Amino acid sequence: MSDLTATSLHGRPLVTGFYEQRTGSVQYVVADAETKHCAIVDPVHDFDPKSGATATRSADALLAHIARAGYRLQWILDTHPHADHFSAAGYLHDRTGAPTAIGEKVVEVQKLWKGLYNLPETFPADGSQWDRLFADGERFRIGNLDVEVLFTPGHTLASVAYRVGDAAFIHDTLFMPDSGSARADFPGGSARTLWRSIQRIMALPDETRLFTGHDYRPDGREAAWESTVARQRADNKHLTETGSEGAFVRMREARDRELPMPKLILHSLQVNIRGGRLPEPEANGRRYLKIPLDALDGAAGGE
């Protein structure tokens, strides 16, 4: 855990990042110091694909932090249906009663993956697994902090960013400057759309703090997840090396063709389109994941 803290006066939230090493994911608690209200962004439900074991250590660490700080949990937010880890939104909702939310385009992801998993007609691909579906430009509050929802697709067709005061939680659009940008080859993804979403983020004020969804620690450096618009514009290697939409799209599509699919994509999406809930137990009391074979056209093989 690393505590990235500053005064929340004048729309500057307190942000605490929790690094989940197994998947390189970053979970956040973002809080208003005046009211002590907070939100969780992109919580992780632990999963070991080798043993099939699940656990709630990562999500419980968020709750422990909230309790120590004396915060009141107001929202559980996901930026998109993740392809590399299980969301803990459902677990946290059951523990706390706080409402869950995601971008409204999640229904399109549900429809796509419902077909890939051959889920029964009774599965509701209508976003009803969340308490709130946000539209682009919609606003809500964390305490006295104003939050704006920014539709930022490309990595997935449902991705949103949350702008909270001087901070923005930008999920898998940009990584830290030495890591570049996110892939855009998942079903429903688009490199061209990703470029345009990145430009929307780059149009925010230079001093806006940007919090990314992953860090893969290039060259073994310490995990990091906070930058600024100005730093990304000046130093992000995929932006400085391309400089135009066409060049970026060519670079991104070429890189994506060489990347294997995330190890947990077929495991994760069937949980995450359910609002971060594990499959229901079967007659013997055990839960099972369903892995479709040869479902991802063009996926690179190997590890």
Per residue of the chain (303 residues), what is the pLDDT tens digit? 444 333 333 589 999 999 999 999 999 999 999 999 999 999 999 999 999 999 999 999 999 999 999 999 999 999 999 999 999 999 999 999 999 999 999 999 999 999 999 999 999 999 999 999 999 999 999 999 999 999 999 999 999 999 999 999 999 999 999 999 999 998 889 999 999 999 999 999 999 999 999 999 999 999 999 999 999 999 999 999 999 999 999 999 999 999 998 899 999 999 999 999 999 999 999 999 999 998 887 655 544
Residue 51 neighbours by CB under 8 Å, 6+ apart: none
Residue 230 domain flag: yes
User: Do the domain assignments include residue 74?
Assistant: yes
- Cβ atoms within 10 A of the Cβ of 95, count? 15
Alpha carbon distance 39, 29 (integer Å) = 6
Q: pTM of the full predicted structure?
A: 0.93
For residues 5 and 15, is the Cβ–Cβ distance under 8 A?
yes
What separation in angstroms does the CA of 164 have from each of 8, 72, 139, 226?
10, 17, 10, 14
With 0-12 / 13-18 / 19 or more C-beta atoms within 10 angstroms meaning exposed / middle / buried, residue 136 is middle
Confirm whether 82 is domain-assigned. Answer: yes
In a domain, 251, yes or no: yes
Residue 303 lies in a domain: no
Tell me which residue range forms the domain holding 78. Answer: 10-272
Residue 22: how many CA atoms within 13 Å on its side-chain side?
Answer: 16
Q: Are strands 14-20 and 25-31 parallel, antiparallel or unpaired?
A: antiparallel
State the total domains in the chain.
Answer: 1
| CATH assignment of the domain containing 183 | 3.60.15.10
Strands of the chain (E only): list them. Answer: 2-4, 14-20, 25-31, 37-41, 44-48, 53-55, 72-77, 86-87, 100-103, 132-134, 139-142, 145-151, 160-164, 167-171, 209-212, 226-228
Identify whether 130 is part of a domain. Answer: yes
Is the residue at 280 inside a domain? no
Domain contains 193: yes
